[in-house]
Structures are given as C-alpha cells and as structure tokens.
Structure 1
Amino acid sequence: MSRIGIVAEFNPFHTGHKYIIDYAKNVLGADSVIIALGNEFTQRGGIAIIDRYSRAKAAVDAGADLVVGMPAASSSGADLVIGMPVAASCASAEIFAECGVCLLAACGCDKIACGFEGGDISLFKKTAKVLLEEPAAFKDVLQADLKSGMSFPSAREDALKAYFNICSASVPAKDTDASAISFDDAISEIVSSPNNILAVEYEKAILRHHFDIELIPVKRQGTSYNDALSDGEFVSATYIRRMIYDGNLDAVKKHLTAFSYQALKDSRGKNLLLCDDDLSLPLHLALLSHDNYSEFSDVSEELSDRIKRLLPQFTGFTQFTMLLKNKSLTASRIRRALIHILLGIRDKDIFSLREKDFVPYLWILDASPDGLSMLKGIKKSCSAPLFFSVNELPNGFTDNRLDMKALDLVRALRIEKSGLPIPNERQRKITF
C-alpha cells in the first residue's frame, strides 16, 4: 500500500493542485493521498482567501472533475487532509516544510509529491544536503554576505554558488533541455522560485529526520508560483487571487474545480473572502500594544527598530510591509514577522513544535471514506492526539492555543465583513 503525501496551502484550490493529486494516484500509483494543509495564515506571510475547511473539502472533492492531459485512469481526490499548526504554517520555508513532512511521516506516507519549477534533480538533492550540513565553505560565505547587509535568500544563493564552485561540482545536462546552462544559472534555477525552495526544504527535512520517504518532484504545469499572468490551462494561485479580488471570478472558472469555484462564489456572495489588508486594523492595534517587537519569532533587532521608527506612517498591512522593506529585509520575511506579532508567535512556540517533532496533534480537516478507514492505524502508530473537533480534546490541552487564536481572529474578520453569524470551533459541525 502506497501513501503519498502533499504539503499544500490550496490558496485557493485550482486545477494545478488537482494535477498533482491525479499524478500521485494515476502515475505514481498511490493507494491514498494525504494532505498536510496550511492554516488560515500562509507561508508567504498573509491570510488565506477562503477558510481551510473549504480548501480541505475541495481537495477531497477533487475527483468530481477531470484535468486535461492526465492519464485516462480512475481519478479521485485526496483521502485525508491534516491541519498544520499555525506557528509552522506562517513560518520560514524551512519550518513550514519540516512540519509538513513530519505530519505526513506520522500518517505513514512513503512518498511525498511536490511541485517543481524545473532544474537539475541531482544538483537539487546535493543542494538539500549542503543546506542541512552547512559545510564551512558554504557557511563562511553565507555569514559574510549576511553581515554585509545582503538578504538571506540572496546570501544563501551566493553561498551555494561559492561552495559548489569550490568543490568543482559538475551539472549534468537537463533531460528536457539540451542547451548548455552555466553552473551559476543552474543554482539560481533551483533556489530562485518558491516551489523549488520548498522542494529543497522537503528533501532536507527527510534527510534531517532520516525518514524512509522518497521525495518526487512533479514538474509544474503552466505559469510559476508567483506569476500574476495567465498562460493557458494552468495558472498560478497568485493570478487567481488577483482576478478574484478584482471581481473577475468567472474569468478564472476554468482554472478551478467545480467545488472550489462554487465555494469561492458562495463566499464572495456573502462577503466572506479575505485579503491581506483585512488584517490592517488588528495588526495596527497589535503594533501599538508592544514596544519591543524582537520578542516575537523572526523579528530581528533591525526590523524591530524599523517598525518602531516607521509606525507613525502605518496606513495598512501591505503599505507598511513595503515601507519596512529594504536591501536586507525581503517583503515575505516582513509579512511573516508582522503575522507573528499579530498572533503572538514567539521562538518558544517554534521550539515547542520542534520538541514534539512538529506533530503536536493530528487535526483532521476532511477525509474521504478511504481516509476515515486509515485513521485507526494512524492512531495506533502516532502518539499525538488525533481529533476532528476541539470538543474531543481534554480540558487543559494547550498545544493548539495559537491555532485557536488565529481561527478566532479570522472568524471575527469574516463576521465584521459579512455581518453574518459564523460558528466558532466548538460549534462547527463535522460534515464528512
């Protein structure tokens, strides 16, 4: 029995996501597909457009649609969707990936499929090993670049190039491209896109924990992760969100599964869809409530000082992010840091996750009948609490404290926007 895992956000669920699930089942031969799904707050440092239960159900329901170009074998959606703790969901790529991999390992996955923008697979695996072991030739350049004021992504890329050049590593010709590619370009191709960076981090997490799991990169179809343009059958989630925010949901209908489209349409009609700037007021209040922001995870002294100095100019989440951005602080890092301040996520919370091997619990968001049948075996092999509803948890359970805070905040935002009553987590009905 082969269980293939996928770490995802599905923000929102679209045909590109469906492609990977179908690939796992129809090409890789998965008997079941398990998803580790990001929380209401995303790895790029923002808020998900639609609630995680709708995103989870879209993944399970995905078998209702066909994706052109996939084999004509039977098609079905995901079997089990596990919620990721919010502290990892809106963290760096390293922590996000490690938590996702650990959750999938706890569910008995023997393979993990992930989107991949392209590049040499051999070099990709070597890159993961270098980032895990941090040999001196790599680390010295990284630290020197960071000290000079270079941003972490740029410093990491430069250090990798320096290391592999020192080691005189060769880059095999790509199977899909016979043209020559320079060594530095090969490194850039691997670490310059969000999907590739996450793929490297998945491989690194597998190596770190010595999991008997095979990582299978699946070539991304259509546009890249952050591409805001449309290009044929498959488009990016960024493009889809932008079109929805601009009032053009029907223009991207063909890029969404039927369930995902209907869920987005219904939520839009009730004014329940969220964007990053919906966080502006609660974030502003959180910033005004603290003096030393460096107590929060991923907030350096430099960033803390910039926040204090520029806070009088705050007018919104996006505006303030761009105001804080400089040569050494990327927009993604700043967005994540602001979310950490908003939710009160500190280094001790990340440390607590590490102590529990990133599996403090298994929160089941949705499941197919086959997925439900797997739970008994998962519960036997994993000591972490497994639950569908917080009502099942014992009194005094606090490992989901930050998740409850995040869910309460998002619920309040949706109530304020829609004027509708929305059940809290204790009132939520299980619909599968």
Structure 2
Amino acid sequence: MLATGIVVEYNPFHNGHLFHLNEAKRLTDADVIIAVMSGHFLQRGEPAIVDKWTRAHMALAGGADLVIELPYAFATAHAPQFARGAVQILDALQCEYICFGSEEGHIAPFVHSLDTMNTHKKLYEEKIKCSMQEGLSYPNALRIAYDEISRTTDEPLADLSEPNNILGFHYMQAIKEIRSNMMPVTLERKGTHYHDEALPEDSIASATGIRKELFATDVAHVQSFMPSSSYELLHQQPHQSWDHLYPFLRYMILREGPEQLASIADITEGIEFSLWRAAKEHATFQEFMKAVKSKRYTWTRIQRMLVHVLTGYQKSTRAQITSPSYLRLLGMSKNGRNYLRSVKKEVTLPVVSRAGSHKDPSLLMDIKSTDIYMCGMQREPGLDFKTPPILL
C-alpha cells in the first residue's frame, strides 16, 4: 500500500483542506493518506478552536486514513523544528510522498531555493545575525537574508515571504537533513490567502477567516465553507480561544514573576519583564498583546512564548526533546488500520493509542497541554488516558 503524508492543523477542517487531501491522493496515486496533526496548541501560538479528537474525526470524515498527533514540542515550535518533527513522523510511518499546499504551486523553485541556500549558507547566516542585531524580528531577518542570496542565481526561487511556502521549504530541508526517501509534491493553495480574515464569495475560505466569523457571530455563518461532517462536529463542540485561557495565563505570569519566566522556552532578551508588567496592567488578552508587541517581537512569536508559559514548558525540558519518540494515534479508518498492520515491522517508532504510564518527556508535555487546554473549556482532566483513537 502506497502512503502519502500531509501535515495539518485543521483549525477547523474546511473545503480548502478537503481539496488538498483529495489532490494529495490523486497526484500521488496513494492508497493511504496519513495526516500528522498538531494537538491542542498550534504553531502560531494559539489554542485549537476544538479539541484534537474532534479535529481528528473531521480529518477522517474528510478522507484521511490515519491521524497522528504532532507532539507539543514540535507543534508549537518555529517552522524548521515544526517541519522536522512532522517529516520524521511521516518517514517513520514509511510514507513514500509528502504533499503540501503552497502559494508557489511547483516543486522546482523549492529545489532551487534549497540548493542556493546550501551553497551560500555562511552568507545567509551572517545576514540573519546582522539584521537581528539591528533589532529586526526573526522573520524579517530571514527575509532580508534570503533576498541577499537570491541575487546570486538566475534560477526561479520560491517566495519565502509566503507562510505556506516557508513551511514547504522546511519540509524539503528536513527530508534532506534526515536523508529520507520521501518525495515532495506540492499543489497551489486555492481560495483566500492564509491570513485573510474576510470570508470570500466562493466556497474556500481561510481558517483564520472562519475562526473570526465564528467568534464574531455563530457557526451557521461558516457552513458553506466546510464539509457537512466538519460543520456538524464544529457545531456540537464548545470553541476555545485565548480569551478563555487568558485568566489562567495572567495568573501564571503574576505568580511566577520575571525570574521564573526567564526559564520558560522561547523567552529571551528580558521580555519577561514586559510580560509581567503587561499582565499587571491589562485585563484582556488583546490589550495584553498590544502592550507587548514590538518591532522585534511579532504577534506569533509572543503567542508561542505565552503557550509555553501557560503549559510550564521549560528550556530544560525542550533540550531533552530532539526528535519524535512515539507515534500518537488519534484516529484511523479501516484502510488506515490495514496499512498499520501491513507495515508494522517497518515502522521505526512505537505506536501509542492511549497514554499510559509513560515517562517520555515529550508525551508528558502532550498530556499536560491537554489538561490545561481543557481547563479553559471547563472539562475534566486526564482525557489522554481515557480517550481511545477515533475509528471510522
């Protein structure tokens, strides 16, 4: 059975995701689609709108065969670590292809970009360092460095100012670094831009726009942008946001104080003092974020810090987690179950269907993040121990 992997968040699963999933199957002639999906906290430093089992159910109803959780340590990391963790999981599951959506729509520019960056790696890294010393944010520093090395070639390069292109580039970089045999395939992103908040006239909207509409009005307004199965699941579940979690976050910041905050992952350069002052002064999440955001610290970068504050994710814990060490099964179809059986001897990481007495620091972080996420939903803790994989 030929397996193709995709990397997803499904926050929530919408028509654009359905198009991607179907095209991934068609373009690679896949028998099985394996989705590596972030858990309860996402790469942009946000809580998922609904829990990971609901989103896994959406994925299976949309045609995925296996849904594997991307561990917290990678799901909430910067793009290179996020991509590397996902690629390692798909490689462990013996995927022959990885298919990602991109603004570019063709693989060749990514190949040229990767070759150019490897050729001029020293220049690239020096330019990033200089830009950051001048006070620029990391994404802006990357963009300037990339523009610099782009002048060294006449080959068409991928536009790495676009969010899906950035992730696609890092997937391919990770494939090369771990020496995987997976073949990358890309398809052009359809519909609205990744960050677009307005809902379009056609049936494909961004997840950002769908979430904004959900919190501003109600779930009925997004029905036309989602498969009916996703809409029904979304309609049945309470919706999570930073507004719900901010009281817990504010308490954590004020209780810990700047000295303790400095030990949290991603908190650097004295920003702990800004977080502490903002928590003392602002009663809402939006006000807090506006007080902390600066030229150096983007909204996304700050949110990732705050997720780590909320979950107590220490720099020392992150140092222990260098690669995925298990495959957390969130859901599977009958086809997916047959695939797992067929490749059982070749799969290079243990499959975990339900959390038990594991001491793995990465799995412990997944369990803790679930419990904290559920606090904002006023639901019971321990669901990672109680909830079996979704079966369709």
How high is the TM-score relative to the length of structure 1? 0.84
Task: Call closer, same or farther: CA 1:423–1:160 in 2, change over 3 Å.
Answer: closer
In angstroms, what is the RMSD of aligned CA positions?
2.1
Code of the residue aligned with 1:371 in structure 2: it is: G
Q: Identify the range of structure 1 (239-248 vs 79-88) with the bigger mean alpha-carbon deviation.
A: 239-248
Within the candidate set 350, 368, 375, 1:405 is matched to: 368
Offset at residue 382 of structure 1 (A): 3.4
Q: Partner of 1:225 in structure 2?
A: 194
Report if the CA contact (8 A) 1:8-1:36 is conserved. Answer: yes
Report if the CA contact (8 A) 1:87-1:349 is conserved. Answer: no
Offset at residue 348 of structure 1 (A): 3.3
Within the candidate set 215, 231, 248, 1:261 is matched to: 231
Task: Call closer, same or farther: CA 1:133–1:409 in 2, change over 3 Å.
Answer: farther
Q: Structure 1 regions of 5+ residues with no counterpart?
A: 63-76, 173-185
Task: Call closer, same or farther: CA 1:395–1:331 in 2, change over 3 Å.
Answer: closer
Q: Partner of 2:79 in structure 1?
A: 93
Offset at residue 121 of structure 1 (A): 4.2
Code of the residue aligned with 2:226 in structure 1: it is: L
Within the candidate set 296, 301, 304, 2:272 is matched to: 304
Q: Partner of 2:339 in structure 1?
A: 374
Code of the residue aligned with 1:96 in structure 2: it is: F
What is the rounded CA distance, in whole Å, between the counterparts of 1:388 and 1:133 in structure 2? 43
What is the rounded CA distance, in whole Å, between the counterparts of 1:108 and 1:394 in structure 2? 27
Q: Partner of 2:39 in structure 1?
A: 39
Offset at residue 119 of structure 1 (A): 6.7
Cα deviations across residues 325-353 of structure 1 (Å, max 9, x unaligned)?
Answer: 11111110000011111112233333333
- Whether 1:247 aligns to 2:217 is yes
3-state DSSP of counterpart to 1:301? coil
- Whether 1:26 aligns to 2:12 is no
Offset at residue 308 of structure 1 (A): 3.3
What is the rounded CA distance, in whole Å, between the counterparts of 1:405 and 1:423 in structure 2? 9
- Whether 1:146 aligns to 2:115 is no
Task: Call closer, same or farther: CA 1:301–1:17 in 2, change over 3 Å.
Answer: same
Cα deviations across residues 244-269 of structure 1 (Å, max 9, x unaligned)?
Answer: 112232222121111110011111xx
Offset at residue 130 of structure 1 (A): 5.2
Within the candidate set 107, 114, 121, 2:93 is matched to: 107
Code of the residue aligned with 2:234 in structure 1: it is: L
- Whether 1:196 aligns to 2:165 is yes
3-state DSSP of counterpart to 1:44? coil
3-state DSSP of counterpart to 1:370? helix
Within the candidate set 332, 347, 352, 2:320 is matched to: 352
What is the rounded CA distance, in whole Å, between the counterparts of 1:351 and 1:280 in structure 2? 27
Within the candidate set 297, 300, 308, 1:332 is matched to: 300
Code of the residue aligned with 1:412 in structure 2: it is: C
What is the rounded CA distance, in whole Å, between the counterparts of 1:322 and 1:22 in structure 2? 40
What is the rounded CA distance, in whole Å, between the counterparts of 2:60 and 2:165 in structure 1? 25
3-state DSSP of counterpart to 2:126? helix
Q: Identify the range of structure 1 (98-107 vs 284-293) with the bigger mean alpha-carbon deviation.
A: 284-293
Q: Partner of 2:108 in structure 1?
A: 122
Report if the CA contact (8 A) 1:132-1:208 is conserved. Answer: no
Cα deviations across residues 205-230 of structure 1 (Å, max 9, x unaligned)?
Answer: 11111111111111001001111122
Within the candidate set 195, 201, 205, 2:174 is matched to: 205
Task: Call closer, same or farther: CA 1:397–1:379 in 2, change over 3 Å.
Answer: farther
Q: Partner of 2:352 in structure 1?
A: 387
Report if the CA contact (8 A) 1:40-1:51 is conserved. Answer: yes
How many residue pairs align between the two structures?
A: 388
3-state DSSP of counterpart to 1:300? coil
Offset at residue 12 of structure 1 (A): 0.1
Report if the CA contact (8 A) 1:127-1:160 is conserved. Answer: no
Q: Partner of 1:83 in structure 2?
A: 69
- Whether 1:289 aligns to 2:255 is yes
Task: Call closer, same or farther: CA 1:250–1:377 in 2, change over 3 Å.
Answer: same
Task: Call closer, same or farther: CA 1:320–1:134 in 2, change over 3 Å.
Answer: farther
Q: Partner of 1:3 in structure 2?
A: 3
What is the rounded CA distance, in whole Å, between the counterparts of 1:379 and 1:278 in structure 2? 41
Cα deviations across residues 110-151 of structure 1 (Å, max 9, x unaligned)?
Answer: 111111012774332233345567622212211111100011
3-state DSSP of counterpart to 2:321? helix
Report if the CA contact (8 A) 1:93-1:201 is conserved. Answer: yes
Offset at residue 318 of structure 1 (A): 3.0
What is the rounded CA distance, in whole Å, between the counterparts of 1:26 and 1:388 in structure 2? 29
What is the rounded CA distance, in whole Å, between the counterparts of 2:33 and 2:51 in structure 1? 21
Report if the CA contact (8 A) 1:227-1:238 is conserved. Answer: yes
Provide the identity percentage: 28
3-state DSSP of counterpart to 2:135? coil
Report if the CA contact (8 A) 1:138-1:162 is conserved. Answer: yes
What is the rounded CA distance, in whole Å, between the counterparts of 1:34 and 1:51 in structure 2? 19
What is the rounded CA distance, in whole Å, between the counterparts of 2:37 and 2:385 in structure 1? 20
Within the candidate set 190, 204, 209, 1:234 is matched to: 204
